[in-house]
Amino acid sequence: MTNQDLDFTISKLGECRIPSLMQVGQFVGDDERVLYHDKMEEVKVYLDSGKEPPQFETAGPREKVYFDPSKLKCGIVTCGGLCPGLNDVIRAIVLGLFYHYGVKTVFGFRYGYEGLSYRYGHVPLELNPETVKDIHKMEDRSSLLRAGRRIFPRWWTPSIG
């Protein structure tokens, strides 16, 4: 694949119809993009040939969302081993989902991908603002979810549903 063939289009699940509960000063529009190339001469190659340069969809809060937050259940799984600040990230995700988006059900899957399989018997943790209140202060310097490094066989695929 050459730079001329780059396509970063993200497929949509459907029309976003539910007003976001986020109260921010500015939402990101679906048509906002960030260019892949950072040098004008690279962008000019596309423009001169009548093509749009490769671009990413801009991340950020949207005015309308696809999923109804009151019915949504989210899960967090950490894989690849521990890293500094992992508990801070888990805490921020839970607090953001709860307070910004109104998602009240968040599960934490322990031991990486093992936590997604019933075979290992790891019961998901229910995460909420109270349960993550002090995880960034854990003294044993580990992750609340016990990040896993297990490599699964090629035939194993986590079921979604």
Do the Cβ atoms of 135 and 95 come closer than 8 Å? no
Please list, in sequence order, all residues whose beta carbon lies within 8 angstroms of the beta carbon of residue 99, skipping any fewer than 6 positions away.
Answer: 129
Token reading at 51: 């093509």
> Which token pair is 18?
């539910």
Q: What pLDDT is recorded for position 1?
A: 43
User: Could you tell me the two tokens for 156?
Assistant: 């194993």
CA–CA distance, 6 with 9 (Å, rounded to integer) = 9
Cα(82)–Cα(79) distance, integer angstroms = 8
- Identify whether the C-beta of residue 133 lies closer than 8 Å to the C-beta of residue 118: no
Cβ atoms 73, 67 nearer than 8 A: no
C-alpha atoms less than 13 angstroms from C-alpha of 147 in its C-beta half-sphere: 16
What's the pLDDT tens digit per position in 65-110? 999 998 999 999 988 777 788 889 999 999 999 998 899 999 999 8
92: its two tokens:
């921020």
pLDDT in tens, 115-142: 898 898 999 999 999 999 988 777 766 7
β-bridge partners, 57: 33
pTM of the predicted model, to two decimals?
0.73
